Chains A and B, each alone.
Chain A
């Protein structure tokens, strides 16, 4: 197989605190991404960055496209959401859900994104119903495989099997590296230390997570729930019940304990990647996400789509700038691609060409 050449890029989600803190508005953030070389790939979350989303008027769409062209970035993915619980009295009907997603797919097309990232709340039936809408607008629906799920999770395999049956080139997956984490993030342990968690408690959290890593990812939602409860119980046993939910959410929902090879179950359907990570250590490496192995897997399997660096350490790391940390992770990605005998694409013109070919290859 020809080695892949993934596109370097970033999701603006990585800069959530800077945007939310009004340090940069959308235009300033996009300009910074371009000027400091975090692209060329650009991923945006509709409901985060775009006021009034999913309504996108022609004037805004024009300004957005002009800005992206001016700064020479390449739109890779618009992250959209299935807000099934938007009403308080009941969940959306299937008809309402399809209409809700149609507006967001249309927005992705209007803004020039070839992919709409969707999430696990969409069932195989919903994906099948959305396929003709995706085809009409030429937007690939890439369902995100995110902890606490993983590639070989029954829900993901059911989606993959349905994709095979439906046969639409516009259905695929977004690989989120948080499903295949190899250790509890040290920067989060530092945050717990700053919140007064004892050495003993922090060691116990790591030991519990390591134990789950040895066991592998949870077989189903029931086992996931049990693990969630174990983290809460651990905090209570150590006299810090206030930290229990935090341990549980991060320990099960951000740090998924599947192995890198698990991705092979769905690799041909991976259309987009979230290069999820949590920090860069003093040696310049990501200590808890096997970034090098993940990039090597993609390159060796011919993946030439986008990797959006998705920094999630911002939840707890308020003492370091996200910008330098993201630059650090992208350096690891480039180094890993080179070590695998290939390279990351960082030139915008080449990126446009390679990304178009990546999506066209699914339709060949």
Chain B
């Protein structure tokens, strides 16, 4: 199925008294990255969670391939991966086991695929260590391995470059560019600059209320 893109129309979301998302709208065609920028507390995470359906917006809608995602939420979900600012890893399991259980729920993954993905992000050396013993940057790298394993058109990344060294940040850029080159879409919320070619990036600036 050809991917036509992601659209958000007039998203409004309240958190108690705070109007966090105030009519946010964007259009993202395939092969483009949306850089969601803004100060702390401007609602970057909220926007990402509202787009993928973890949060319900009070009004507005999200369209995937021209159709309202609430019509087929499971179908929409199987085409996206969301990585929050804490990588969803179990501290008592190894990096390899974590990926196996996390992504195995979506796809049948053999050990070779898992190992290749971990090698790719420079996590091969510590794949069998319990995640508890890994540094924040190493955990982030393990989470990045999930991106290439999920093989989905839409990536939603919350602060993908935090805790990473220079080479790691460059890796995030490379992974995103590869995703865009094969016609995927990326939503990345970060207040840093994204290490991605500018002509592929659209910018959405959120303001603090």
Asked if A and B are interacting partners, one says no
Interface set of B (CB-CB < 8 Å, partner A):
none
Interface set of A (CB-CB < 8 Å, partner B):
none
